[in-house]
Structure 1
Amino acid sequence: MDRSAFVHQGCVYGGEDEFLRMAVPFITEGLERDEPVLVATTVANIGSVRAALGRRAHRVDFGETGAFGRRPQQRVAAFTAYRHRHPRDERVRILAEPVWAGHTPRQVEAWECMESALNTVLGGTGIHMICPYDSRTMPAPIVANVRCTHPQLVHGTDVRPSGGYVQPVAFVRRRAAPLPSPPRDAVTLEFRGDLGRMRHAIVLETAALGLLGERMMIFSAAVGEIVGGAAGGSGHPAVALWAQPGEVVCDVRLPVPLDPFIGLHPPTLDPTPGDGFWLARQICDHLDVRPGSDGTIVRLHTPSPAPRT
């Protein structure tokens, strides 16, 4: 096996014993190979794993799964940061239970798309990852998609290819719901070559839509990063801004095709076009990257304060 390959496996379990039959051999094998091991799961599962490992548990990094981010971009950043903590190790192991509790349908969609995107975003990192799914608490559609987002499935120590695996771009196109068109009263702005003027206009319009203070400036900066990243290319980015219950939304229409996973990987020392998207993903409550009729649509969401009564 290529030591730099990213191995992404899913595991559906229905109880403590079934979880341990997968987790303990995975962790033990990593320890025997002197590979760093991170276990990010529920508090109950952490306790069970510690008890099963005994004295070996002190060699494992543990964390409650919610602490590793409740949004896809935070999750990817946490995995990447753990890998960077061990630059001299050829491979690291991560057992990472996804976070589903309290997620809206839109957030579930984003998380499943992230699970699929990991196969591309973490390629070449040397990470071996298992994602456990508890069938007792997970909705059936989420459990069913495990086989679509993971190239391999694990049951105990048995590893098999997933017959239902879907390539990441195809999965996102199939899974992601169509974006509704902006409302007729959306404010539209078109970039005409002066990035400073465009950024100023975005600030004014987001303020008019009800964003205040720091949130207004941060969201405007996120939109400006997306526009600025395309400002040097051919064509003109166009922006549409509008308010809807509980949030302000912005569409940025870019005249170029983009990778739907752009900006999921944290920036490196070498600047790339995706760095601005990474910042925007950190700032925004939700961000979609979708192919459009003549380029790409980037839709950004941020919460807005409740209207005064």
Structure 2
Amino acid sequence: MPATEHLPARHVHDLLLHDSPEELVEVGLPFLRAGLEAGEAVLLATSDTSSRLLTDALGGGDDVLVLPRGEVYRTRTPAALTTVRRMVGERITAGAPRVRVLAEIDFGPTPRDWLEWQRYEAVVNEALAPLPLWGLCAYGTTRLPDELITTGLQTHPHLYTAAGRRDNPDFVEPATYLRALPVPTEPLEHGEPLLHVEDVREFSGLRRAVAAVLAGLGGDADLLEDLHLAIDEMSSNAVRHGGPPVTLRLWAGPDRVVCRISDGGAGMDSPFAGYGPAHGEDLSRGGMGLWLARQLCDHVDVIDDGGGLTVRLTTSLH
């Protein structure tokens, strides 16, 4: 399929696999040029090396906006979604019929970091669906581990190659992919918690108890304040929307804090929960707790084991 073929005015999520910077340029350049010729807004959110190669090949100029990759992909994933929505909205308002983005996700250094962005790659298929956005995600096969290449193949409906665009036979429906991702183990949970509340009913006392434990850890005050707010939101959610008993346990190690909040309710069916306010832009209707927690904490794991719902919050101390 040629790069100029008309596509519907909704999110298109394609994968570009490459084994060298030269191949990235070979495949990505026609994609960018076709967008410019169609009057579309064109953005790069790639590594510095890739951005330089692509802009040099395009001959410079101001037609392509180069975004520092860290501004998009080293924020937490709900913030990244908000950034993408804002950028697309601004450019559509300015008159562009569509926005094209060529991007290289920074998955981070560890498998625990990878998981948040593996989730992101599946979630965007649902969360960005209404937007006139054509995203082309570039995965370097010699740079990324096999596990992440598999992620790319399972989360992008189409492949984009030098020969054109085609259906991806390895694509997995986003909800199915998200439900199949493993919940990582947390070694701190095998130790004695610093705080254990067996039946949460009264919030003012819980807030004071959590604050006292966090204050004694000596970590970054802003990070701990964010975690405290996330714990408050998730505890309130569990009491209001889950079933009793609501339990809270909190552990700390040299580098991180972990808080596990469980209820005895019916659980949560949607794997997309918490990647935007539950009621869209109408924040007065609530539904922001999990969305806020995902922005306030490094990692948020939602565990539905059939016996209630557990939300595990993890934040670094420094």
TM-score for both structures, normalised by structure 1: 0.86
SS state of the match for residue 142, structure 2?
coil
Which residue of 221, 234, 258 corresponds with 1:226? 234
Change (3 A) 1:192 1:290: closer
Return the alpha-carbon distance in structure 2 between the equivalents of residues 266 and 51 of structure 1: 40
Return the alpha-carbon distance in structure 1 between the equivalents of residues 57 and 295 of structure 2: 37
Which residue of 267, 275, 282 corresponds with 1:264? 275
Return the alpha-carbon distance in structure 2 between the equivalents of residues 128 and 29 of structure 1: 12
Aligned to 2:209: 201
Change (3 A) 1:274 1:62: farther
Q: Conserved in 1, the CA contact under 8 Å of 2:183 and 2:303?
A: no
Q: Conserved in 2, the CA contact under 8 Å of 1:249 and 1:299?
A: yes
1:204 Cα offset (Å): 2.6
Change (3 A) 1:228 1:304: same
Q: How does 1:170-185 map to 2 (within 5 A)?
A: 170-180=176-186, 182-183=189-190, 185=192
Moved beyond 6 Å, runs of 4+ = none
SS state of the match for residue 44, structure 1?
helix
SS state of the match for residue 59, structure 2?
helix
SS state of the match for residue 315, structure 2?
strand
Q: Structure 2: which 5+ runs fail to align?
A: 1-5
Which residue of 214, 239, 259 corresponds with 1:250? 259
Change (3 A) 1:290 1:83: farther
Q: How does 1:61-100 map to 2 (within 5 A)?
A: 61-70=65-74, 71-88=76-93, 89-100=96-107
Q: Deviations over 1:202-221 (max 9, x none)?
A: 22333355556443322111
**Cα-Cα RMSD:** 2.6
Aligned to 1:12: 17
Q: How does 1:60-209 map to 2 (within 5 A)?
A: 60-70=64-74, 71-88=76-93, 89-100=96-107, 103-156=109-162, 158-180=164-186, 182-183=189-190, 185-186=192-193, 187-190=195-198, 192-208=200-216
Return the alpha-carbon distance in structure 2 between the equivalents of residues 64 and 213 of structure 1: 27
Q: Deviations over 1:98-141 (max 9, x none)?
A: 114x5111111222121112112212122110100112222223
Q: How does 1:279-290 map to 2 (within 5 A)?
A: 279-290=292-303
Return the alpha-carbon distance in structure 1 between the equivalents of residues 223 and 57 of structure 2: 46
Matched-pair identity in % = 28
Q: Conserved in 1, the CA contact under 8 Å of 2:238 and 2:262?
A: no
Aligned to 2:30: 25
Question: When the two structures are aligned, how many residues end up with a matched partner?
Answer: 303
Q: Structure 1: which 5+ runs fail to align?
A: none
1:95 Cα offset (Å): 1.1
Return the alpha-carbon distance in structure 2 between the equivalents of residues 296 and 280 of structure 1: 15
Q: Which amino acid aligns with 1:296?
A: L
Return the alpha-carbon distance in structure 1 between the equivalents of residues 227 and 212 of structure 2: 12
SS state of the match for residue 68, structure 1?
helix
